[in-house]
Amino acid sequence: MKRWSAVVAAVLLVAAVSLMISMGAAAQEVIRVGADTAFPPFEFVDEATGEYTGFDMDLIRAIGEQMGVKVEIVNTVFDSLIPALLLGEFDVIVSAMTITEERAQTVAFTDPYFRTGLVIATRPDNTSIKTTDDLKGKIVAVQMGSTGHFAADALPGVGRVDPYQFVDQAMTAVIIGAADAAILDELVAIEYMQAHPASIKVVGEPFTTEEYGMAVRPSDTELLQRINAALAELRANGTYDQLYEKWFGVD
């Protein structure tokens, strides 16, 4: 009799503990984050650990911590991010996405978190391309659906615009001579130039001013407000500056 009650007590204890554990897990809200994780230094895979890393990844994890939620990264091709968000495949886009009027018609952007611009990249031995005017008649490689793509399409006289799914494919096209130049985000271009100094150079200063924002579904007004509040707190408490310094600080 005693033995049985000890067994029953043990079983009940195990059941109670596992219930508490699962309730604890359920209580932790998860936000799923869509990102094109082939866009260094904003989002990329750390080869040593296999983890997603970069400025954006650190920032959204810090925002998640601030909000008390768990952050899960969902790797998605850049051009599919907005449709996938709208289909509910994740809850927020954090992917060095420029706030544009057109995109703002379908998604709701957070406050801007990064200011940058587009640049031209070409091979180091190319001395004829100095400004966007010099792209007349040239082949320009871009990432599909990016602001670089839209800018290249809008430049008068460009010979051909070749869109690639991933930004490194556009850079490879330049390196192997399949394209004369690429148009892309400044800090990503600089990252490539530093990684491949013999094959890529950044030409001049940015020719656009753009701001990155995170994007949620327009109906998710509460989530938007919570992310904005967390972002403001990280700016106020110095975390944002630390991350900026970590990824873009003077070297």
Nearer to ligand GLN, 110 or 147 (CB): 147
- In whole angstroms, the minimum distance from the beta carbon of 41 to ligand GLN comes to 12
Closest to ligand GLN by CB, 66 or 182:
182
Helix/strand/coil percent split, the chain, to 5: 45, 20, 35
Residues shown for the chain: 251
List Cβ neighbours of 242 (8 Å cut-off, separation of 6 or more).
none
Q: Which helix (H) or strand (E) holds 113?
A: none
Q: Which is nearer to ligand GLN, 97 or 108 (CB)?
A: 97
Least distance (Å) between residue 92 CB and ligand GLN: 14
CB of 167 to ligand GLN, least distance (A): 6
Query: Is 241 within 8 Å of 221 (Cβ atoms)?
Result: no
For residue 102, the one-letter residue type is E
The minimum distance between CB 126 and ligand GLN, in angstroms, equals 23
Cβ closest to ligand GLN, residue 55 vs residue 66: 55
Q: Which is nearer to ligand GLN, 64 or 145 (CB)?
A: 145
User: Minimum Å distance from CB 40 to ligand GLN?
Assistant: 10
Judged by the rule CB under 6 A, the positions of this chain that interact with ligand GLN are 36, 39, 78, 95-98, 143, 146-147, 167, 185
Alpha helices of the chain — where are they, by DSSP H? 2-27, 55-67, 81-86, 147-154, 167-175, 186-195, 221-236, 239-248
